[in-house]
Amino acid sequence: MSFTVKGWCPGALRPMQSGDGLVLRIRAHNGRLEPEQAQAIADLAWTHGNGLMDLTSRANLQLRGLRPAGHAAAIAVLTGIGLVDRDAGAEARRNVVLSPFAALDGPAWHLAQAIAQAMTAPNAPQVPGKFGFSVDTDPPALADTPADIRLRPQGTGWLILPDGGDWALTADNTAQAAARAVALAHWFMQGGVRDGRGRMRDHLRRGPALPAQAIPLPSSPFPKYSCDSAAGPAGAHPPGPGAAPNGWLLGFAFGQITARQLTQAAAIGPLRLTPWRALLIECTARPRIEGAILDPQDPLLRIRACTGAPGCPQALADVRALARRLAPRLATGQDLHVSGCAKGCAHQGAASVTLVATGRDRFDLIRDGGPRDPAILSGLAPDRIPL
C-alpha cells in the first residue's frame, strides 16, 4: 500500500495542496484566539475556503478548501489580526503546544511565549518541520501529546524532557527553562537530522552523548489531568467534554468544526485550541454550539478518522462516512481508528480496532494496533466489518 510522507506541515505562508483545495494552518499564539480573531477566521473559511476547518493534534486550526486565488487575501486578513509570522521558516519553527489549562500570564504562559520567540529568532536552531515543544501544567495535561521536547513544572522550577529519553534537564525559573529547551534543540541538531527530517525519539535511539547537564529522570509517575466529566476512569486522557478550570471543553466529531460553529463559539468568549481536537471556550455557563459534543459518553469521541476521500488525494475511501456508520456499534471502552491509507495521519498509535482503506469499499482490520501493523482480516466490505 503506497503513500507519500511529505515531512512538513502546512502553515499560513506555506499552505499544502489537498484534494479539496489548499490547507492553511493557523498557529494561534499560545493556542488562544480572541473572539475578534476567531470571527475573522470563520469569515475567511466562508469567503475563501469551503467553510470547514480542522482542530489538529498540535492545537492548531486548519482552513480547508482554500482557493489559490484567495491565499493573498487570507494572508492579509491573518496579518491584520496578528496571526502571521515574518516568513514560512519562522512559522514552522514556532511549534509550541501550551496546555489549554495554563493561566493567562502565568509561568507556563510566559514560558511558551519565550520558547516561541526564541525559535523564530534568526539564530534559532533550524529544526525539521514536525519538530515541536510542549509546555505543560500541574498536573500534566499533555502527557500523551506528541512533542520532541516537553517542559513540566517541578516545584518552583521546570523539568525539560527529551521525548523517548530517561533523563532530563532542570531549570530554576522560566527564563532558564526557555534557554535550556532551545539549547536542547541545538544539541539535537548536531546529529538528529537525516535528509532534512528527524525526531528526538529516533535520535536518542542512536545513543548520542548526552548533554553535560542531564540528570536521571525522576522515577515518580506524573499524574494526568482529567475533567470531572471526562469519559472513563479517573486519570483518563484526554479530557472529555465538560467544565474545566478555565471554561468549557467541547468535542467535535473527527476534530472538524464549521465556520458557523466557530462563529457561535466566538460570540461566547475567547477560545483555546487543544491538542485533543476539541475547543475550550473561556466561559462560566454551559455553552450551546450547534453540533458540538458535550456528552462525554458519545462514541464519536472514541473514533479517529482522517479527512479521507475526496478531501485527501492519498485517501482510498470516504472514511468519515464509514466511521459515523460504525459509531453506534462501538462497545464501551473500545476505540476505533479509520484511516484512508496506511499513513495513519489521524493517529499513529494503537487502537482497539484500526481500519485501513485498501480501495474504495475495502478495508483491512487490525486489532490492538496501528495502521502499519499486520492485519488480521483483509479486503473487508463496509457491511462485513466486525467490531
Give the whole-angstrom CA distance, residue 133 versus residue 387.
36
In a domain, 375, yes or no: yes
Does 167 share its domain with 68? no
In a domain, 91, yes or no: no
- Let me know: does 282 contact 272? Beta carbons within 8 Å: yes
In a domain, 294, yes or no: no
Does 106 share its domain with 204? yes
Q: Which of 194, 216, 238 is the last residue of a domain?
A: 216
- pLDDT reported for residue 381: 97
Does 115 share its domain with 202? yes
Does 147 share its domain with 204? yes
Does 129 share its domain with 190? yes
In a domain, 291, yes or no: no
Could you report the per-residue pLDDT of 91-110, keeping only the tens digit for each? Answer: 999 999 999 999 999 999 99
Does 116 share its domain with 197? yes
Query: The pTM is what?
Result: 0.92
Describe the crossing of helices 259-266 and 35-48 by its angle, rounded to 10 degrees. Answer: 160
Whole-number percent of the chain with pLDDT over 90:
88
Q: Which of 216, 241, 258 is the last residue of a domain?
A: 216
- Determine the structural domain holding residue 50 and report its residue range: 16-84+227-281
- Residue 149 cell numbers, joined: 521536547
Could you report the per-residue pLDDT of 15-72, keeping only the tens digit for each? Answer: 999 999 999 999 999 999 999 999 999 999 999 999 999 999 999 999 999 999 999 9
In a domain, 95, yes or no: no
In a domain, 221, yes or no: no
Does 65 share its domain with 109? no
Does 277 share its domain with 309? no
- Let me know: does 132 contact 180? Beta carbons within 8 Å: no
Does 232 share its domain with 212? no
**What's the CATH number where 61 sits?**
3.90.480.10
Could you report the per-residue pLDDT of 328-360, keeping only the tens digit for each? Answer: 999 999 999 999 999 998 998 899 999 999 998
**What's the CATH number where 342 sits?**
3.30.413.10
In a domain, 289, yes or no: no
* Number of folded domains that form the chain: 3
- pLDDT reported for residue 237: 58
Q: How far apart are the first and last CA of the chain?
A: 23
- Residue 56 cell numbers, joined: 489538529
Contacts of 387 (CB under 8 A, 6+ apart): 326, 329, 330, 331, 334, 336, 353
Q: Which of 171, 187, 216 is the last residue of a domain?
A: 216
- Among 343, 342, 312, 309, which residue's Cα sits nearest to residue 323? 309
H helices within 233-366, ranges in order?
Answer: 259-266, 319-326
SS3 264: helix
Does 177 share its domain with 109? yes
In a domain, 89, yes or no: no
Could you report the per-residue pLDDT of 226-244, keeping only the tens digit for each? Answer: 444 333 333 345 789 999 9
Our measurement of the distance from residue 290's CA atom to the centroid of its chain's CA atoms, rounded to an integer in Å, reads 23
